[in-house]
Amino acid sequence: RADTAAMGKHFGNLARVRHVISYSLSPFEQQAFPNVLSHSVPNVGRRFASQVLKVVPPLALGYLIYSWGTQEFERLKRKNPADYECDQ
């Protein structure tokens, strides 16, 4: 590789950085999804249970107010038939 040495340094070796320590782990030692079923699923359940009482009551209250408001709007939109009995 005498021809590449004459052109300069490669992209990964453009600068020399001192006093920086980097560590890496071999891809053969890594596990993509270690303990997914034994740790992650219970952790999701624990997080959901800890937050459900903070989230559900305001959402339920908002839904009840919204449904009451739409029902009341539909009720008030209708004409009262008793007001028009003598108009014939």
- Contact in structure between 65 and 59 (CB atoms under 8 Å): no
Mind listing the domains of the chain with CATH numbers?
36-78 (1.20.5.210)
For 15-51, what is each residue's pLDDT tens digit?
777 888 887 878 787 777 778 788 888 999 999 999 9
Mean pLDDT for 1-16 is 64
- Contact in structure between 10 and 4 (CB atoms under 8 Å): yes
For 66-75, what is each residue's pLDDT tens digit?
999 999 999 9
